[in-house]
Amino acid sequence: MTEGGGLSSINSLRYSRDSPLVSGIALGPDKLHQTHQTHQIRLTNNYIRRLRYNRHMTQTIAISNQAGGVGKTTTTINLGGALANEGHDVLLIDADPQGTLTEGTGFRDLYDQKIPSLHQVMADPSRTEEINDIVQHHDEFDVIPANKAMDGLKDMLVTQVANSEMRLKIAINELEYCYDFILIDCPPDLSQILDNALLAAESVLIPVEATRRSIRAIEKMNEEIDYLTNSFPGQIETIDILGIVINSVESVQNNDTKQMIEFFNDAPYDVFQVPDRVAIRRAWNNGVSIFTHEDTAKTEDAREAYTEIAAMLERHTAEVEA
């Protein structure tokens, strides 16, 4: 367990070729039995819930911006925490080869280990079902971590893999557990991995900073969406931009910042402002979202911002399922 208390005890265990594996972690006989029982109970409860509601549609959202340092990972983790806080089952997928979400949820050790990974699931069509083996259980949500081997995935998808743009979508369809929301933390570039995330999600949230470079980032996202919808007719209907998340909004703003916020508010999307709070960074350091992180610094307005975004996603889900 990390100091912040966000992770289950699996983080203290290590991989061994000779040990049985659950979620890529070596377990002893007693722990293996206990973990298997917990997993079966989760699957059973999930199945009962699906029967109770008669139908269930997972909403998959890509958190994406081609620019780096705009808060994609922070948005993914804390939005996941907000949705979990509202009682939803949530899965976070780290599709960024840098593995920032993997580190920010406390699974940094897995990034360097040679264990079954998202890279193998996406690169090898015969291993698609192994996506269930790489899901890690966090106190707030489940996580599919990145692995350093993903650095080579971009070129491999271009040159070696059939249906390369659909590999992540195909893998997600093999998940045993039926989540309410799947959030994909995307890489900060235009690549086959980003295309996989957008096609798997079919909806996008764009984190931005209140700077002029964010205007071009949104334009590039629209261009990429147009390219994908035109390239895959019949396979996807549309890729919707659900909203813009302006991160690190300071209490005292200069004129440029005010003008940019006004510009975003005129966009044809829902716009959300997340305040700049040190508690958000401290939560990331402890491997948890701001919803389970306890801090003496101000947190309530940041929690309210992420809860507002979560409420928008809930409304969108209701509209889609209606």
Residue 289 lies in a domain: yes
Longest Cα separation, the chain: 62
- pLDDT tens for residues 74-85? 999 999 999 999
In sequence order, which residues have a C-beta less than 8 Å from that of residue 236 and are 6 or more positions away?
Answer: 199, 202, 228, 229
Residue 294 lies in a domain: yes
- pLDDT tens for residues 32-44? 444 445 555 655 5
Residue 178 lies in a domain: yes
Please give the residue range of the domain that contains residue 43: 9-321
Residue 89 lies in a domain: yes
Residue 134 lies in a domain: yes
Number of domains in the chain: 1
The arithmetic mean of pLDDT across residues 210-234, rounded, is 89
Residue 95 lies in a domain: yes
217 vs 179, more confident: 179
Looking at residue 113, what is its pLDDT? 79
The arithmetic mean of pLDDT across residues 43-67, rounded, is 69
Q: Dump the DSSP string for 202-252.
A: SEEEEEE-SSTHHHHHHHHHHHHHHHHHHHSBTTBS--EEEEEEEEEE-SS
Predicted TM-score of the model (pTM): 0.82
Q: How far apart are CA 26 and CA 298, in angstroms?
A: 39
Residue 125 is which amino acid?
A: P
Strand partners, 208: 246
Query: Residue 107 maps to which CATH number?
Result: 3.40.50.300
Q: How far apart are CA 214 and CA 228, in angstroms?
A: 21
Residue 321 is which amino acid?
A: E
* Residue 129 clears pLDDT 80, i.e. is over it: yes
Looking at residue 281, what is its pLDDT? 94
Helix (H, G, I), strand (E, B) or coil at 184: strand
Residue 47 lies in a domain: yes
Residue 113 lies in a domain: yes
